[in-house]
Amino acid sequence: MNNQLVFSDYLIFFLYLILVGSYGYWIYRRRKSKEHDSKGFFLAEGSLTWWAIGASLIASNISAEQFIGMSGNGFFLGIAISAYEWLAALSLVIVAVWFIPVYLKNKIYTMPQFLKTRYNETVAMIMAILWLFIYIFVNLTSILYLGSVAISGLLPVGYNVDYLHFVMVALAVFSIIITLGGMKVIGFTDVIQVTVLIIGGLATSYMALDKVGGGNGIVHGFSILMQQAPDHFHMIFKKPTVESSQVDIDKYLLLPGILMYVAGQWIVNLNYWGCNQYITQRALGANLNTARNGLLFAALLKLIMPLIVMLPGIAAFVLMKQGHLPSMENTNMDHAYSAVLGFLPAGLKGLSLAALTAAIVASLAGKINSISTIFTLDIYKKYINKEATDQKMVWIGRAVALGSLILAIMFTWKDVLGISSAGGFTYIQKYTGYISPGVFAMFILGMFWKRTTGAAAVAGVITGLGLCYFFNEWAPAVFGNNTWLYTAYPNGNGGFEIPFLIAMGLSFFFTVLVMVLISLAGPRINPKAFALDTSMFKLRPQTTALIVMILLLLTALYIKFW
**What's the pLDDT score for residue 446?**
93
Give the integer Cα–Cα distance in Å for 407 and 482: 42
pTM (predicted TM-score): 0.85
- Cα-based distances in Å from 551 to 75, 300, 408, 555: 27, 10, 39, 6
* pLDDT computed for residue 157 by the predictor: 58
Domains, the chain, in order of start with CATH, read 7-381+392-432+532-561 (1.20.1730.10)
Q: Is 495 helix (H, G, I), strand (E, B) or coil?
A: coil
Q: What is the mean pLDDT of the chain?
A: 84
What pLDDT shows up at residue 413?
A: 82
CA distance 450 to 447: 8
Alpha-carbon 123 to chain mean position: 24
C-alpha 535/C-alpha 163 separation (Å) is 56
For residue 161, name the pLDDT band (cuts at 50, 70, 90).
Answer: low
As a whole number, mean pLDDT of residues 299-307 equals: 92
Tell me the per-residue pLDDT of 234-248, one tens digit each, with 9 for 90 and over. Answer: 999 989 888 888 989
Cα–Cα distances (Å) from 184 to 11, 29, 49, 180, 207, in that order, read 28, 11, 10, 10, 35
Q: Rounded CA gap, 398 and 376, in Å? A: 10
pLDDT at 326: 78
Distance, CA of 32 to chain centre: 31
Least confident of 308-312, 332-336, 464-468: 332-336
Q: What is the CA radius of gyration of the chain?
A: 23
**C-alpha span between 171 and 360 (Å, rounded):** 8
Give 497's strand partners. Answer: 489
User: How far, in Å, CA of 485 to CA of 502, rounded?
Assistant: 10
pLDDT in tens, 106-159: 888 888 889 999 999 888 888 888 889 888 988 888 888 878 877 776 776 544
Average pLDDT over residues 357-362: 80
Comparing C-alpha atoms, which of 332, 383, 261 is closest to residue 69? 332
**Residue 413 near residue 165, CB atoms below 8 Å:** yes
Query: Which of 29, 41, 31 shows the shortest CA–CA distance to 394?
Result: 41
| Span 463-487, average pLDDT | 92
CA distance linking residue 531 with residue 230, whole number of Å: 51
Is the predicted pLDDT of residue 160 greater than 50, yes or no? no
What are the phi and psi torsion angles at 497 (to 5°)?
Answer: -135, 145
C-beta atoms surrounding 248 within 10 Å:
17
CB 452 within 8 A of CB 519: yes
pLDDT the model gives residue 456: 95
Cα separations (Å) of 349 from 8, 10, 151, 163, 483? 9, 9, 11, 18, 51
